[in-house]
Chains A and B, each alone.
Chain A
Amino acid sequence: MDRILESLKNYDGPDISIMEVCGSHTAAISRSGIRSVISDRIKLHSGPGCPVCVTVTSYIDRLLKLAEDKDTCIVTFGDLIRVKGSRLSLYDARAAGARVEMVYSPMDVLKLAQKDRTTLFVFAAVGFETTTPVYAILMDQILQTGIKNIKLLTSIKTMPEAVEWILLNSDMDGFIAPGHVCAVAGYRDYEALSEKYHVPFAVAGFDSSQIINAIYTLIRDKDKGVVTNLYTKLVQREGNTAALEAVDRFFEKSDGAWRGLGIIEGSARYLKEEYLEFDAGSRDLNYDQDNEGCHCREILAGKEDSSECPLFAKACTPASPRGACMVSEEGACFNAFAYMTEKRNG
């Protein structure tokens, strides 16, 4: 480990750009102060792997529209509540009297719906490959219990298509592949991308030694189409087949809109037609609006760092976020702000 760190500290080759796709990696990199112990020539960029950050305006607007009905209650995870739609966030709507419940687990919606049968509970099902199996279990429970007053408004995305978008639209020399996503979905998709674009991928866990190892591996394998799995404890090439089967039972792939990246072919999952009665209108929510001056787009695509956005740390802070990247604790801007001046001499 010391030898690897030493070589990353003394790296004097050409500038190299590495993207950590997953928001949890972004948070782990900031928390462990990795940037402060490696060469300035190694640039780490945050990718689009923070579900809250890539949620488009029209999705929030749709939730707000649903919340206008007094017999409807929106059920959501914590951070989504503060993301602004065209005008308001769910937080604003709740303050104005809308019914918005925050839960820690999607399964909590079952209890809410069983207790209050006269309310329609719309679950804001946001997430990636990691969360989708839980939504599949939720659907299974809804069917088994026969509950009729739950619907899902989905914004479920899949990573490989977004990574390909990044490969086509920006200049990355390597990717730290998302560890949790690969634990569910495997990494065959990344092998295909790696071969096609001659770019290395390293599947990594979330402790600093895994991340440092991944950076080292990606520099070593620059321009090679190889995938290295460093997270063997949890990740297998084929993924978790039982979870994937559960997902396939309820969801099908189609095009999806990403904040900052636009519509990406085949990058979203929606409830299948036979389960449409449980869908709250998730398809074709494609409209996305930038907050004035906000550089979310460039940041999510890895073209700019948070500090290059004119709003960063001025008009946009965690206490008063303008863009979604500042809302989530996994967002690039939140982390850049919370660990600001991380780079120090020591």
Chain B
Amino acid sequence: MSQGSGGAATEELINSLFFKYFNNEYLLKADDSALVPGSGRIALTTDSFVVTPLVFPGGDIGRLAVCGTVNDLLMSGAQPKYLTAGFILEEGLDVGLLEKIVQSMADCAGEAGVKIVTGDTKVIEGHGGLIINTAGVGFVKEGVSYGPENCRSGDVIILTGALGDHHMTILSHRMNIENDAVSDTAPLVDIIQNLISHKTEIHAMRDVTRGGLGTVLNEFAERSGKQILIEEEVLPIHPGVSSFCNMLGLDPLYMGNEGKAVIAVGESDAKRTLEIIKKSRYGEEAAIIGRISEPDGIGGEVVMRTPIGGLRIVNKMYGEGLPRIC
């Protein structure tokens, strides 16, 4: 594969794929840096994506690379504007597959309202794999802050959709298990922008990715010094994910997602906020799952009431989320 050499083959790849699909005025200038307009508080984030398989039900590494970075920007209250994309291609990567992935990135960027304005390509030895790095820039209004430390007593916790679908999809592929699992990979732009434009009383939010809901809620509790009680019975979990977890000894609280956020919102505005999320794209299955209170013992605790009325401490993920062996 000579496309990483920097010569004519690289140019061919850039022209035929990246310019064609990412097509925008900043990228097409093909300068060493993209010069983009914007001012004020800048949110900047980066993430690298190394998933196998490269294409999975519900998405692919390209869609994932856009959503991961876009969602990180959204969670800091930013409006995502520009992305960069770095491609590390392994020798033997199918060019048709690469084109499919690039097209999927372009589609997702279009949906999320961001432009991919600059990029890079390298080729390394390997077995046809692909790694993508994206960095993202967004702009945050003065005074906006949704960090976990802002959680308040009385806040209601809303989860924007069902848990575990992405994790189940990827794990099923790796374990050669056939099922109907579909990844939830999605940009949360519509949900978050609707919440902001309706001036909902959001105090804190985080996307629920690796480490799962349990880990994010612990971050909320620790950083704010509050206590969180969630209700297991109302957690949105698809039946297929539930039985997959039962079969393999996995816990949906620690399953990874790629299109879900958890939001702490003032109690008086909780119902309206939930309705707005439910009407937004990718928010149909949102649910109120718990609330935040002053700690009755040590602060920083997350507790879950189980369907039998038992109370269980929800800790951060300790294990590696691996399936059990018997």
A residues with CB within 8 A of B:
5, 23-24, 27, 30-37, 49, 51-52, 77-80, 104-105, 107, 126-128, 130-131, 180-181, 206-209, 212, 318-319, 328-330, 334, 337-342, 344, 346
Q: Please provide the 3 A-B residue pairs with the shortest distance between their CB atoms, ordered closest to farther.
A: A33-B310, A78-B322, A318-B318
A-B contact pairs, 20 of them (CB 8 A): A24-B249, A27-B324, A30-B312, A34-B308, A37-B308, A52-B325, A77-B325, A105-B175, A131-B326, A206-B246, A212-B308, A329-B249, A329-B322, A329-B324, A334-B319, A338-B313, A339-B312, A339-B315, A342-B313, A344-B303
* Interface of chain B, main secondary structure: loop
The number of residues on chain B lying at the interface, defined by a beta carbon within 8 Å of a beta carbon of chain A, is 27
For the complex, is B251 an interface residue (Cβ under 8 Å from A)? yes
Min CB distance B177 to A, Å, is 9
> Are A32 and B318 within 8 A (Cβ)?
no
Q: Which residues of A contact B324 (CB under 8 A)?
A: 23-24, 27, 328-330
For the complex, is B311 an interface residue (Cβ under 8 Å from A)? yes
A131 vs B323: C-alpha distance when bound (angstroms): 13
Min CB distance A205 to B, Å, is 9
Q: Which residues of A contact B303 (CB under 8 A)?
A: 344
Min CB distance A87 to B, Å, is 23
B residues with CB within 8 A of A:
171, 174-176, 246, 249, 251, 303-313, 315, 318-320, 322-326
> Are A338 and B318 within 8 A (Cβ)?
yes
Q: Which residue of the partner chain B has the closest CB to A317?
A: B318
Q: Which of B251, B304, B305, B326 has the most CB of A within 10 A?
A: B326
> Are B175 and A104 within 8 A (Cβ)?
yes
> Are A51 and B325 within 8 A (Cβ)?
yes
> Are B315 and A338 within 8 A (Cβ)?
yes
Q: Which of A27, A208, A341 has the most CB of B within 10 A?
A: A341
Q: Which residues of A contact B249 (CB under 8 A)?
A: 24, 27, 329-330
Q: Which residue of the partner chain A has the closest CB to B319?
A: A329
Q: Which residues of A contact B322 (CB under 8 A)?
A: 77-79, 104, 329
Q: Which residues of A contact B318 (CB under 8 A)?
A: 318-319, 334, 337-338
A212 vs B320: C-alpha distance when bound (angstroms): 29
Min CB distance A273 to B, Å, is 26
A318 vs B165: C-alpha distance when bound (angstroms): 26
Q: Which of B303, B304, B310, B311 has the most CB of A within 10 A?
A: B310
